[in-house]
Amino acid sequence: MVARVIFHVAANSAVLSWSAAYRVKVLGEETDLREVPSVVAGDKASRHSIILAKSTPAKKYGIQTGEPLFQALEKCPGLVVIPPDYELYVQASRHFVDMLREFSPAVEQYSIDEAWVDMTGTQRLWGTPRLAAELMRRRINEELGFTVNIGISSNKLLAKMAGDFEKPNKVHTLFPEEMGAKFFPLPVRDLFLVGAATERKLQRLGIYTIGQLAAADVRVLKKRLGKQGELLWHFANGRNADAVTPEPAENKGYGNATTTSHDVVTHEEAHQVLLSLCETVAARLRKDGKCGSCVSIHLRTNEFHHFSHQCVLHGATNITTELFEASCRLFDEAWDGITPLRQLGVQVTRLSGEPYQQYDFFSGLSPQQFERKLRLDETVDALRDKYGEDIIRRAKFANGTEPHMAGGLSKERRTGVTKPVPKEF
């Protein structure tokens, strides 16, 4: 039986590296953003302004991904700040994955800047796993202009853990026989899927390293952490049988959320935000030929308290106004009318791909009305696909002060990739 060989390949400081490479190789700029304190962040005046990516020199100032931009500027007043360029990132990601597929057809993209590659049985083509990884790393650097870390192991979990070892531009192995020296001594927080809250729970059990977690009594872990405890115990022991799946899993739900530019304090404001979210959620459902019968709303206050509310509709739908009406009902039931809100979200689950709608006496919508609404929504979708999402908007957004399609991907990524980006950058 041929031993499995799995690579985990992740771009180093991806979005900043892609912007830097493009500016140097394509635009001819002299300054390489990777060599100076620099970050990718949103609009300085927006509450969305957080650090999306940072250069290695920026790390020396204590700048962290996810922190507010104003805090980063306080740490480094001379910080170079560039806006995100989603068209560029999508193109760079495509070139990146295309390069990986030259080494193996079994590539599973995990995010825009990382993927697993099943290299099992390719030794006659590329040599030993380390030789193949070194070749892959060099080609990506020379042909695409950015660096990657590559982790090598016999399963996806250990390959990803190896890829997170010393950075940047490195190749690391973590096979089962290497776990004692390389894996078990690591802090338990470094284990995949262990966050701050789980780390605190484990530390209360006297578990501080991955090795201690691997040696713990799984029954105690299940009692204290539930199913997650057993899963983490298997992870700590390096067990993961997931195959590299080139095709992404089908969506189990569709949802969008948005952080508002100011606190929402009235029902009218909230309903407008919910409509903008339903516009994008419903459009995605229609694009994928899906309907949903369970609608949920998620609210976050200006003090970061979170609560949600949901209902089941009488029939599955992907009509914008139906999702909007259900969202408004849920919101009016859930919100106290006083607490300021900073984030709202809408989610649709219990999906169906059936090409028909179930009608009943309670929906108040006749088959003819449903068809008219669906045709209208599909016509609007077609116009937005062809001319851009701003070609048509509802009268509620006529003043233009708030986005009429909010949440999810940025406007740039929703409206398609048009910037010509050569492969060699």
Q: Which residues are catalytic?
A: 114
Q: Give how far Cα 410 sits from Cα of 85, 151, 211, Å.
A: 10, 31, 41
Q: Alpha-carbon distance 25 to 29, whole Å?
A: 8
Q: Which residues contact 245 (CB under 8 A, 6 or more apart)?
A: 108
Look at the alpha carbons of 185, 191, 196, 197 in this order and tell me if their dihedral is positive or negative. negative
> DSSP states of 368-397 as a string?
HHHHHHHHHHHHHHHHHHHH-GGG---GGG
Distance CA 141, CA 169 (A): 9
**Residue 316, CA distances (Å) to 1, 325, 335, 354, 374 in order:** 48, 14, 25, 9, 13
How wide is the angle at C-alpha 300 spanned by C-alphas 294 and 304, nearest 5°?
145
Q: Which long-range contacts (CB under 8 A, 24 or more apart) does 95-98 make?
A: 95/144, 95/423, 96/11, 96/140, 96/144
Could you tell me how far CA 275 lies from the centroid of its own chain?
23
* Tokens linked to 419: 């910037």
Least Cα distance to 297 among 267, 256, 340, 252 occurs for 256
Could you give the 3-state DSSP secondary structure of residue 318? coil
Cα gap 33→17, rounded to integer Å: 8
Find all residues with CB under 8 Å of 229, minimum gap 6, and list them.
218, 220, 221, 222, 223
Q: What span, in angstroms and rounded, lies between the C-alpha atoms of 64 and 52?
A: 9
Dihedral of CA atoms 118, 121, 125, 128 in degrees, nearest 10, equals 80
Alpha-carbon distance 128 to 347, whole Å? 46
